[in-house]
Amino acid sequence: MPAWWRPFAVELEGEPLARVRGGVEALRRALSRENVVDVVAYAFGDEAAGQRVIATIRLSLATNGATYSPGVGDAEPPALAAAALADQLAVAPDSELATLISLLVLSADYSERQPAIEGMRLADYAARQLEHRSASARRLVLAKADQPASELVSGALRSLEATREGEPTSLDWILAALAERIDEIAARIDDEHAILREQLRLQTWAMQAWCDAAEMAWSEVPAEARPIIAAVELAQRTHGTAPAIGADALLASVLDTVSGPLGDMLDAEGAVAAAGPYIAGSLRHAPHELLFPLASELARWRTEGSESYPTVARWLAPRGGSGPRREEMAIALQAYREALALRLLGHE
């Protein structure tokens, strides 16, 4: 924390450091799905988003003894936002909120934006959190009970004769405990089956040469459309909200099959326009242009362009096809991040 604040000409120690830490922790506790998009955007320099969350930041500072009310143009508020995001990733890496933050942070990194704190490796923190979350969310938990069901029931019946804090153990309490245990085992079984189903779906998808979205072989899908379509199909086969383990390898295995070694540079606008006709039901929302660049471009394509692929070139003409050129894997991973982030936000 002190190193992060030195660029602001503030040497923190003692009470000043405690105040800043308190403000960061208070802001971290105030993070929610309702405000986190704006907090991340503000941490990466978007002042319009800052206007929407500055009141939350002021309140966080006020609860920790701050004597001033910062404005959006001040240097400290976006730095506090960035520090609060890093704090959430460190304190609760297994939370869905941390996963959403990581997806949004990496989206800002894709848009070539830097966090308000110079040298802060927020994108690195996010990548590590997603790796951890991908594995922890899919750790198989054996569904067997701690003891056989017959022993569990026998022990419960014997407890009818026992006392519990001086009170006879009631049959209602025993039945409730048994029901709770059964529910717990059932939940474990459901989780295990969901993980196994995901593994089967992903393995089948990576091995087949058929594109479901386009209803044709991957080799027949327009080359520019493949990265985004592949990302959407991977998201549809991903269980829950944590990215699939080895998502980049899964995408590479599908794209390698039809295009050879990855590395082709694609025009981002062309990739969106080519994929648009095949993904009408996906990436429909664009909560923020900085953090959802592909969904935002898709929204423009759906408004301005044709729904027919043969006329894509005509749609691109007024814009000149001058969008940033990126490797197809970078576009595929970004589309995958946006699909999962939209799922976490309740949009898809």
Give percent of the chain above pLDDT 90: 47
User: What is the average per-residue pLDDT within 26-33?
Assistant: 96
Coil vs helix vs strand at 266: strand
- Residue 83's pLDDT is 94
Nearest-CA neighbor of 16 among 37, 33, 2? 2
- Residue 196's pLDDT is 78
- Residue 102's pLDDT is 98
- Residue 12's pLDDT is 61
- Residue 148's pLDDT is 63
| pLDDT per position as a tens digit, 88-134 | 999 999 999 999 999 999 999 999 999 988 888 999 999 999 999 99
Contact between 279 and 232 under an 8 Å Cβ cutoff? The reply is yes
pTM for the structure as a whole: 0.81
- Residue 183's pLDDT is 73
Coil vs helix vs strand at 164: strand
| pLDDT per position as a tens digit, 256-302 | 866 555 557 788 888 999 999 999 889 999 999 999 999 999 999 98
Q: Return d(Cα 297, Cα 303) in angstroms, integer.
A: 10
| pLDDT per position as a tens digit, 136-195 | 988 755 545 455 666 666 666 666 555 455 555 566 666 676 677 777 766 666 667 677
Instruction: Quote the mean pLDDT of the chain.
Output: 82
Q: What angle do CA 179, 180, 185 make, to 5 degrees?
A: 95
- Asked whether the predicted pLDDT for residue 310 surpasses 90, the reply is no
Contact between 233 and 261 under an 8 Å Cβ cutoff? The reply is no
Token pair listed for 129: 């959190």
